[in-house]
Amino acid sequence: MIAFMLMTTLVGNKVYLTVQRQKEEIKYLQEEKKYLEKRLQEGNDKVIEQTKEIEQIKKDMEALRVSKAVKSPQRQATQAVSTVKSPNVEQWRPIVAQYPWNTDYALRVMDCESHGDPTNVNWEDAKITGMPSNGLFQINSYQNWNWSDPATNIARAYEMYSRRGWQPWTCARRV
């Protein structure tokens, strides 16, 4: 009987110790869970804060882009209201329209530069640059290309426009 009682006590103590360990492990896991939830919430808060910062930066960039567009002489020039005066210019619209620029404005610049005449040559520019300006957009260049070919002249004009906007053409400030 004593042996049974001893065994029961030992088993009871072992069960008690096992239950105590499980309780401690549950308590540890609950604390770990709280800690991880807190870290997750901090991470979420940080992500939310960074998202707000990114949205603010996007708004600031858009505002800057808009303010630059409004201040840009090119932008103002492309928004100018003017009509093409020379009937020769309209025939080049299909070629000019192939490029991603303001087609109407490009035609007005062409009208001012050459009146739509692909063979137009400005020898006055040769006094300044050593080379005359040629073709529809009066391009002044040392490169050897077919100056009077309308498609080539327009392609070269767009290439210049894509790099420097309307800056190369004095007429762009007048139309």
Residue 175 predicted with pLDDT over 60: yes
Cα distances (Å, whole numbers) of residue 137 to 37, 39, 85, 113: 67, 64, 15, 6
pLDDT band at 14 (very low <50, low <70, confident <90, very high): low
Strand partners, 122: 133
Taking the alpha carbons of 84, 89, 92, 98 in that order, is the dihedral positive or negative? Answer: negative
Q: Mark whether 86 and 16 lie in a shared domain.
A: no
Helix (H) or strand (E) holding 122: strand 121-122
Residue 163 predicted with pLDDT over 80: yes
Q: Mark whether 36 and 110 lie in a shared domain.
A: no
Among 71, 99, 124, residue at a domain's last position: 71
Q: Which amino acid is at 121?
A: V
Higher pLDDT: 18 or 128? It is 128
d(CA 57, CA 55): 5
Q: Mark whether 79 and 54 lie in a shared domain.
A: no
